[in-house]
Structure 1
Amino acid sequence: MPGFADSFWSSDYAAGLGVLFGKLQQGVVENRQVLTIARLRAEAEEVYGQRLADIIPAVDKIQGGFGKDDGASTRKAYDGVRTEMEDASKNHKKIAQNIRDLVVNPFSRWCEAHESRIQESQDELQSKIKAHDKQQEAVKKLRTNYFNKCRLVEDLEEENKLAFQDPEMSPTPKQSILPIPEIKVHEEEEEEDYEIGDEVYQPEQVKKILAHMLTNIKMGETKVPILGTYLNTSSGADIVDYLQRNMGTTSVSYAERIGQDLVTLGFLRLIGNVGSTFANSSKMFYQWRPKAFQLSGVPEKKPLGRTFSLPTSAGSDAGDSQVVGAVSEVLSGWGVLPNSRPNETPSERMRREAREADDRYKAGVRKLDEMRCNLEESIYLHLKFLERCELDRLKAIKTVILDFSGTISNVIPSLQSTVDKMMLFQETVQPVGDLRYLLENYRTGSFAPKVVVYENYYNKVDEQTFGVDLEARARADKKRVPVIVTSLLTYLDHHYPDLEGDEARRGVWLVEVPLAQTHKLRNKLNDGKPPSMDVFAEFDIPAVASLLKLYLLELPDSLVSSHVYEIIRTIYTTPATESTEEARISVLQQTLSQLRLTNIATLDACMNHFTRLIELTTADEDYVSKLATALAPCILRPRTETSLTMEEKHSYRLIRDLFAHKDAIFSELKRMSTLAHSASVSGPNPNAARDTPSPAAQSNRPRAISTDESNRKAHMEERTRALLEKATGSRSRATSPAPSPRNATSTSTHRRDRSIGGPETRFPIASPTAQHEARGNRQSFGPVLPKRASLDVPPEVSLGLPQASDRIEPTNGVEVPAVAAVRGEGEGVEKRNSLGRSSARFVGGRRVPVPSANTGYGGPQDGGHGGVTLVDAPMDD
């Protein structure tokens, strides 16, 4: 049964969690309802007991009667009824008290704690989802800005290419304008005196005066609306007060005249008002200019944040005054601030801005990826925690009903029937069943992370591995199967022998690895570079296996594309293919042939790994079922998951068929690719007008398997007779494109390093387990045909077989088996079985199993080896 951690995921994270928290809040309301029932029942029992107690005083008020008849039997009966009435009152009050002590009080405290736990989880996840969504929007803006910058750079480059095309208008390349030489005479700069007030001061005296002023006059910051905050300011009153105390000014007017001279000489300037008048006022502030600090040698106080200088008229240094405020951003956008790179050309500036935008976009994507991983880890942990909370709630309700019934059954045996019914109700509560019902009816989707990848403007994927399209990743690696997949499978094959027992080896794919640990390994490898085995050594083997499943889940499309999901569904829901295994496998072969070659090669490598693991560890049916269930969302997912697709088992059944019929399915896919490949390299036939070309030569796509065995046999016999007639010269006909024994040693070659057909005309033999061994050279196509199965391919199917001297190399570096058999070389290309159980020979396109010496994981007793080498040669195209 799937748990919360694999049931309430959605593409935006919030929708699935919203459904879950809606049901959990419904559980909180259910707790209140149970608590209300218990509380009201306690109050009813209390009122009922009190009413029973009120009966006796009301009866005693009646004078006479049984009070006078002491020994009558009627009196005893009355007293018995009276006593039972008092006992009944006490019993009902005791029931009320027991319900409060055993049910109401403890369950109310538990309900408050449960509601608090649910609310805390909801608030925490909601805050993280909001932060993730906010960062996602920021990444979109950064991406738009980056693309716009790149477009501007491209437009500028295009304009530069088109510029100066007219030779009459453009200057010659070697033409240059030399500057006119100037003779500079260094004149001695004489420092002039300063007239301040009625006195004339030497520069050294002014320096001392300014240093004393800047040290003793009160200085601070002044905030001016709109413009911002000015630093190093003093009020006019403070400056006048200093002049009167330290410079011996006799009047305020003389002090103001000295202040005006300081403004005129450029040591002060008025802020917040128009003009440059100095006045003795506490409301008028003056800023000390950098000239005063430079002359006096006193360090200027500068802000820690971003500043800007107000532009002033030419020849004025007021622009050096520092102003802090948000308006600096606006002014920098308007371009009124001085340029920090004055010698930068427009093209250099655009390229720099494009690089900066690219860096910001990369940083934003990286931050978003970290936030997404952290969010998924939090969701994963909270879902497991909430699952335990919900299960505890259901168990608590079960306990409450049991205690509630016990408080009544222990006190009043007369209510046994009611108690029996309540016990029956208590027995009908099944916490696990209710949890299953919640999952089956309110699931929103399995765990399928949606990776936001960095989209390079020039379609490069060199800096990321996970979330990238499988074909793009394989092309970047120059391999048919992505390097990350082959590295993971190779590492696992080499380290299976390190585990103790087959049960531990099988459990690698079923153990539940914490998502945080898998993300930690993912972050070490998500750089677009071939992974290092030293990185895998830092983690345990189940974490490495979990990383492969996470890689397949994060692909933009499933390994078996979602485009064929409806076809797969039709295969498993049609009675004709459902009942006949041979027909179902045939249709599966045709369906899988529609996939891209990278997908087929990767699927073949994965299936080889799993089937060998099942075979060599002697896995039972239960393990195979669990393994297929775990791999189903990794291999095939619908384009959009709905409540119907969540209940469908088509992905699971596809994997079971791939496990059971791997050799038949993939050998046929390889046969189709071999036929198309041979047809594409056989070359033009000069007598094509008189020859009947083979089906493989007429079409570039694999041919469906014929189910009419009689027709296929007739066609093969006709083809064999034609070949025999050609070899013996009994019939005059055009030269067949098939090789003959006499030109098997021809020196002409038709080597083709690059396929020219479409994706469906070639298929790499990417299987890490198939061992291809060449047989002896066949001198002719004799009439005796080997016995074959319905899915085997006879060696004479294609007329486009190459000559013996031709060497056809598929895109992954493994020679086509049929060509190797025709060539008759003494040795063929081998690929070792990753677990060493069995091997196979391919003769003329047929797979003939042969016994293998390896029977296990390569222990000392069987002479095998503990690992496997996955051969995946570089991809030419």
Structure 2
Amino acid sequence: MPGFADSFWSQDYAAGLGVLFGKLQQGVVENRQILTIARLRAEAEDVYGQRLAEIAPAVDKVQGGFSRDDGASVRKAYEGVRTEMQEASKNHKKIASNIRDLVVNPFSRWAEAHEARIQDSQDELQARIKAHDRQAELVKKLRSNYFNKCRLVEDLEEENKLAFQDPETSPTPKKAGSSIIPQIKVQEEEDEEDDDEPYEIGDEIYSPEQVKKILSHMLGNIKMGETKVPILGTYLNTSSGTDIVEYLQRHMGTSSVSYAERIGQDLISHGFLRLIGNVGNTFVNSSKMSYQWRPKAFKLAGVPEKKAPLSRTFSLPLNGSEGSDSPVVGTVSEYLANWNVLNTSRPNETPAERLRREAKEADDRYKAAVRKLDEMRCELEEAIYVHLKFLERCELDRLKAIKTVVLDFSGAISNVIPSLQSTVDNMMLFQETVQPLGDLRYLLESYRTGSFVPKVVVYENYYNKVDEQTFGVDIEARARADKKRVPIIVTTLLTYLDHAYPDLEGDEARRGVWLHEVPLSEVHKLRNKINDGKPPSMEVFAEFDIPTVANVLKLYLLELPDSLVSSHVYEIVRTIYSTPAAESTDAARVSVLQQTLSQLRLTNIATLDACMNHFTRLIDLTSADEDYISKLAASLAPCILRPRVETSLTMEEKHAYRLVRDLFAHKDAIFNELKRMSTLSHSSSVSGGPGGGSNRPRAISTDESNRKAHVEERNRLLLEKASGSRSRATSPAPSPRGTTGAHRRDRSIGGPETRFPIQPSSSSSPSAERMPHRQSLGPVLPKRTSLEVPGEDGHQALAAADGAPNGGATDAAIAPAGDIHVEKRNSLGRSGARFVGGRRVTLTSSQQPTVPATPETDRGSHGVTLVDAPMDD
């Protein structure tokens, strides 16, 4: 059963905690109701006893009755009744006293302390959440300021480049004896060459003269005006996206809105338009998106550009020049803070240097704020984790206290008045029906808001670099930054754990590594030491115990923006396990899982393959039972597959757990087929190079650091294609016969069986060939060592094939840490696949070569070393 620490998380932290504290405050009210019942019953018993005590004095005031007959039997009956009234009075007063002493007084003190504990936890967590939210808002502001500064630097650099293109607008008389600046001459020659190159707009190629006529007609017919952007100021010569698309559909005969948007995007790419008031530079058919016509469009069309009129009012210029397309940038307080009339702080600083310095300062402030937010988030999660554990104990204690109160309440009555035994029996029955664990389970099942899936606010570099952070970064971006198919953090953690298993005493300790509950603060300590974007060092792991290192890997997978098996296929996985046909045969379900997992990116598949190899080896070599496999699958399920949005329905679903169980049971069948499919995909991609009929859509580029070089190269290729006078460029795709080229991949350490580079162990032997009675993994017995792998002679490498849709693959292999001879049972045996004549041939068990045992092999080091070769693309 999940606890509070795994059930009341939400993306903003406050929603899940609000539900929990609402239920806990409801428990406080329930305590008051119990106290009210006990207090009123004690008062009622006291009043009843007092009224019973008044009966005897009232009867004694009547004279001449039973007092005159001393020995009459009737008088004895009367006196017996009178005495019973007095005893009843005493009994009811005793009941009232017992209720106050046993129920009201102790439970009222405990209830007050319980309410104080709940309120203190709520106040502390609310204060932490408010501080975290304020820091998050500050990060957003600093990020916006940093991006604005970077855009100003780019605008200034572009204006400086365009400042020397037209000698008529800015004549500079040459002085006698002055030298010619080489950079300006080169820029003029490049500009002259650019004027003669054709332009590709949409699916057509236009000459400069045709583009001149088109732009002239556009500038004369498309509605233009002024657009005012808060803080940034007013932009001149702007048109909305809908006006541009309407013109293109009316005058250029575009067939659809999407094709018109492509033409608009090409106008942006050629420097005729630019997006204002928003981040990015994408053309969209929207009336809310405004685009400014650049000076290049007016210059090429020969149409005079509308300039901002000179103002007599006081204004602060953007830089030392006459201004730019955005006349006002930043806030008034920022200008006044940076305004230095005498320019005494940096007298020799140019406007360009000032903008670059301000962008660098904004970047440093934004980066520091992100680090502080990350620290506050970790501290908040640690506090929430501790408080949820504490509150779970408090709620369980409250339910047990109510159970005790009901028992004491019934005892206070049953010990005094046996005649009320039926009432007491009913109360005892009610007491027996109270089940604290059942009530706690109901609370969790009815009101839980989500499991622990931290949402990391990562530092977003303007130039799309991820060199300074590891956790929370997209796994493919992290792998590309590492130049590996599998991120280095994953391979390093698995390698360290493989080396650490033999040092543990017994298989139970090795299996418990992944199920041991580690405090979140300890996991965050190790996370903070390796969250720098650099390959982690083994010495850092040695400072922590083995379960903490294992939990860091689970935390890394939880903090990914998307789960390892992408949430895009969650509905497919749900359908697989909801279909009755999938329940009938494993073969049908495995086949569908193969097709589903083949939709993932190569990095996700390779990382999943590496993790599953590690866990299946651990299960196999430690002889794990069904109970352990179920617990391990339940622990890893949220790390492997999560829905895009967690709801009350998805929290009750077990599809991720069942997927992990299938990956454990059918790992070889699933991943061998994925490797075969990826090899076929590679072959088809090689044969279908440039001009081979590929219909892959063109993606919008987001990296504009080398925009000019890319545009020039693209225009050059289009000119060659249009004129037909030059030969076709050599295809960058690798030749099917292994011809070397610009994108040739070096040979990997292992054979070319698969495109997945990381496999922390060789394929395990089939379960049918395993020995029925296996020894422990401990190093005591000489014939069976724990988690040891064959040496170089028995090494099986995995090589990745190239040509995937999402980028090239990498070569990787598993390098053994030492040659270990395994007798009688080769659970880490080599794959029987060999390549003969370019085709894969699987050898039978009798045909597979064996590794001879030598004295040197028995003295090899424990574990396995993962080697992930660098990417060539």
Regarding TM over 0.5, the answer is yes
The aligned counterpart of 2:109 is 109
Q: 1:91-240, aligned counterparts within 5 Å?
A: 91-167=91-167, 169-170=171-172
* Conservation of the 8 A alpha-carbon contact between 2:761 and 2:828: no
Per-residue deviation, residues 707-754 of structure 1 (Å, max 9, x unmatched): xxxxxxxxxxxxxxxxxxxxxxxxxxxxxxxxxxxxxxx997435774
Aligned-partner residue type, residue 837 of structure 1: L
SS in 2 for 1:766: coil
Q: 1:633-644, aligned counterparts within 5 Å?
A: 633-644=638-649
Q: 1:474-493, aligned counterparts within 5 Å?
A: 474-493=479-498
Aligned-partner residue type, residue 459 of structure 2: Y
Following superposition, the deviation at residue 438 of structure 1 comes to: 0.3
* Conservation of the 8 A alpha-carbon contact between 1:833 and 1:868: no
SS in 2 for 1:873: strand
The aligned counterpart of 2:863 is 867
SS in 2 for 1:530: coil
Q: 1:344 aligns with which of 345, 349, 370?
A: 349
Q: Are residue 767 (structure 1) and residue 759 (structure 2) matched? A: yes
**Residue segments in structure 1 that go unaligned for 5+ positions in a row:** 178-326, 689-696, 701-745, 773-806, 816-827
Per-residue deviation, residues 415-434 of structure 1 (Å, max 9, x unmatched): 11111111111111111111
Q: 1:653 aligns with which of 654, 658, 664?
A: 658
SS in 2 for 1:508: helix
2: CA distance between counterparts of 1:498 and 1:808?
A: 33
Decide whether aligned partners of structure 1 residues 748 and 357 sit closer, same or farther in structure 2, where only a CA change above 3 A counts: closer
Decide whether aligned partners of structure 1 residues 62 and 659 sit closer, same or farther in structure 2, where only a CA change above 3 A counts: same
Following superposition, the deviation at residue 863 of structure 1 comes to: 6.3
1: CA distance between counterparts of 2:597 and 2:422?
A: 65
Decide whether aligned partners of structure 1 residues 771 and 433 sit closer, same or farther in structure 2, where only a CA change above 3 A counts: closer
Q: 2:416 aligns with which of 411, 414, 418?
A: 411
Q: Are residue 68 (structure 1) and residue 60 (structure 2) matched? A: no
2: CA distance between counterparts of 1:869 and 1:555?
A: 25
2: CA distance between counterparts of 1:613 and 1:753?
A: 42
Aligned-partner residue type, residue 831 of structure 2: A
2: CA distance between counterparts of 1:627 and 1:5?
A: 18
The aligned counterpart of 2:236 is none
* Conservation of the 8 A alpha-carbon contact between 2:678 and 2:755: yes
2: CA distance between counterparts of 1:751 and 1:559?
A: 34
Decide whether aligned partners of structure 1 residues 748 and 546 sit closer, same or farther in structure 2, where only a CA change above 3 A counts: closer
2: CA distance between counterparts of 1:25 and 1:871?
A: 55
Q: Are residue 673 (structure 1) and residue 671 (structure 2) matched? A: no
Q: 1:339-418, aligned counterparts within 5 Å?
A: 339-418=344-423
Decide whether aligned partners of structure 1 residues 503 and 830 sit closer, same or farther in structure 2, where only a CA change above 3 A counts: closer
Decide whether aligned partners of structure 1 residues 467 and 685 sit closer, same or farther in structure 2, where only a CA change above 3 A counts: closer
* Conservation of the 8 A alpha-carbon contact between 2:800 and 2:812: no
1: CA distance between counterparts of 2:593 and 2:801?
A: 27
Decide whether aligned partners of structure 1 residues 447 and 860 sit closer, same or farther in structure 2, where only a CA change above 3 A counts: farther
**Sequence identity (%):** 76
Per-residue deviation, residues 644-691 of structure 1 (Å, max 9, x unmatched): 0000000000000000000000000001111222344468999x9xxx
SS in 1 for 2:437: helix
* Conservation of the 8 A alpha-carbon contact between 1:768 and 1:833: no
Q: Are residue 77 (structure 1) and residue 68 (structure 2) matched? A: no
The aligned counterpart of 2:252 is none
Decide whether aligned partners of structure 1 residues 77 and 589 sit closer, same or farther in structure 2, where only a CA change above 3 A counts: same
* Conservation of the 8 A alpha-carbon contact between 1:488 and 1:548: yes
SS in 2 for 1:156: helix
The aligned counterpart of 1:244 is none
Which is further off, 339-348 or 147-156?
Answer: 339-348
Q: Are residue 837 (structure 1) and residue 828 (structure 2) matched? A: yes
Q: Are residue 623 (structure 1) and residue 623 (structure 2) matched? A: no
The aligned counterpart of 1:228 is none
Aligned-partner residue type, residue 543 of structure 2: E
The aligned counterpart of 1:431 is 436
2: CA distance between counterparts of 1:747 and 1:386?
A: 64
Q: 1:274-673, aligned counterparts within 5 Å?
A: 331-332=336-337, 335=340, 339-673=344-678
TM-score, with length taken from structure 2: 0.67
**Residue segments in structure 2 that go unaligned for 5+ positions in a row:** 180-331, 697-734, 746-752, 765-798, 803-808, 821-825
Aligned-partner residue type, residue 871 of structure 2: M
Following superposition, the deviation at residue 77 of structure 1 comes to: 0.8
The aligned counterpart of 2:811 is 813
Q: Are residue 48 (structure 1) and residue 48 (structure 2) matched? A: yes
* Conservation of the 8 A alpha-carbon contact between 1:671 and 1:845: no
Decide whether aligned partners of structure 1 residues 748 and 475 sit closer, same or farther in structure 2, where only a CA change above 3 A counts: closer
Decide whether aligned partners of structure 1 residues 832 and 637 sit closer, same or farther in structure 2, where only a CA change above 3 A counts: farther
The aligned counterpart of 1:694 is none
* Conservation of the 8 A alpha-carbon contact between 2:582 and 2:589: yes
Decide whether aligned partners of structure 1 residues 753 and 561 sit closer, same or farther in structure 2, where only a CA change above 3 A counts: farther
2: CA distance between counterparts of 1:10 and 1:391?
A: 23
Aligned-partner residue type, residue 671 of structure 2: F
* Conservation of the 8 A alpha-carbon contact between 1:770 and 1:831: no
Per-residue deviation, residues 340-378 of structure 1 (Å, max 9, x unmatched): 112111000000000000000001001000000000000
Which is further off, 362-371 or 334-343?
Answer: 334-343
Following superposition, the deviation at residue 443 of structure 1 comes to: 0.3
Count residues in correspondence. Answer: 623
Decide whether aligned partners of structure 1 residues 64 and 333 sit closer, same or farther in structure 2, where only a CA change above 3 A counts: farther
Decide whether aligned partners of structure 1 residues 330 and 469 sit closer, same or farther in structure 2, where only a CA change above 3 A counts: closer
2: CA distance between counterparts of 1:7 and 1:832?
A: 44
2: CA distance between counterparts of 1:853 and 1:46?
A: 93
TM-score, with length taken from structure 1: 0.67
1: CA distance between counterparts of 2:850 and 2:416?
A: 74
SS in 1 for 2:633: helix
2: CA distance between counterparts of 1:357 and 1:408?
A: 74
SS in 1 for 2:761: coil
Aligned-partner residue type, residue 354 of structure 2: R
The aligned counterpart of 1:206 is none
Larger radius of gyration: 1
Give the CA RMSD over aligned residues: 3.4
